[in-house]
Structure 1
Amino acid sequence: MERACQWVSFMRPWIRAKEAISHYYGRNTRKYEILWRIIDRRWTNQLQQPIHALAYFLNLKFYLSDSFRDDEEVMAGVFACIDKMAPNRELRDKVLDELEIYKGAEGRLFSSQQAIDRREKQQSDLWWENYGADMPNSQKKAIRVLSQPCSASGCERSWSLFENIHTKKRNRLT
Structure 2
Amino acid sequence: MNGLLIREDDTVKANSVKEKILDDDWWDKVSYILSFTEPIYDMIRIYKKEKLPLSARSIFYDVVHQVLVSQWTKNNTPLHCLAHSLNPRYYSDAWLLEDSKRLPPHRDGEISQEKQTCFRRLFPNDDEHDRVLEEYALFSMKVGPFEDLICITKMDTMEPKSWWANFGAQTPLLQTLAFKLLGQPSSSSCAERNWSTYAFIHSLRRNRLTTSRAQDLVYIHNNLRLLSRAPNDGVNMWDVGGDAFDSMEDVGFLEFADLSLDEPELESDLLVNV
Q: Same fold (TM over 0.5)?
A: yes
C-alpha distance 41-134 of structure 1, shift in aligned 2 (>3 A):
same
Q: Which consecutive aligned stretches of 4+ in structure 1 deviate over 6 angstroms post-superposition?
A: none
The TM-score, its normalising length taken from structure 2, stands at 0.45
> SS state of the match for residue 148, structure 1?
coil
Query: By how many angstroms is 1:23 displaced?
Result: 7.7
Partner Cα distance (1:92, 1:54) in 2: 14
The TM-score, its normalising length taken from structure 1, stands at 0.67
Partner Cα distance (2:172, 2:40) in 1: 47
> Aligned residue for 1:133?
169
Quick one: which amino acid aligns to residue 30 of structure 1? S
Residue of structure 2 aligned with 1:56, choices 79, 84, 90: 84
Matched, 1:37 2:66: yes
Partner Cα distance (1:41, 1:91) in 2: 34
Which structure dedicates a bigger proportion of its chain to helix?
2
| 1:49-83 deviations in Å (ceiling 9; x for gaps) | 11111111111211333222532210111111111
Partner Cα distance (1:132, 1:47) in 2: 27
Residue of structure 2 aligned with 1:93, choices 123, 130, 139: 130
How many percent identity over aligned positions?
A: 26
Quick one: which amino acid aligns to residue 153 of structure 2? D
Partner Cα distance (1:111, 1:28) in 2: 57
Matched, 1:123 2:143: no
Quick one: which amino acid aligns to residue 79 of structure 2? I
Query: By how many angstroms is 1:22 displaced?
Result: 10
Residue of structure 2 aligned with 1:20, choices 30, 36, 40: 40
Show structure 1 runs of 5+ residues with no match.
1-15, 163-174
C-alpha distance 42-125 of structure 1, shift in aligned 2 (>3 A):
same
Structure 1 or 2, whichever has the larger Rg, is: 2
Partner Cα distance (1:84, 1:149) in 2: 22
- Preserved contact between residue 83 and residue 181 of structure 2 (Cα < 8 Å): yes
Partner Cα distance (2:111, 2:160) in 1: 18
Aligned residues: 143
> Aligned residue for 1:166?
none
C-alpha distance 113-83 of structure 1, shift in aligned 2 (>3 A):
same
| 1:70-117 deviations in Å (ceiling 9; x for gaps) | 322101111111112212111000011112211220123x22222123
Partner Cα distance (1:22, 1:29) in 2: 17
Residue of structure 2 aligned with 1:68, choices 72, 95, 103: 103
- Preserved contact between residue 22 and residue 28 of structure 1 (Cα < 8 Å): no
Matched, 1:148 2:184: yes
- Preserved contact between residue 83 and residue 182 of structure 2 (Cα < 8 Å): yes
C-alpha distance 21-29 of structure 1, shift in aligned 2 (>3 A):
farther
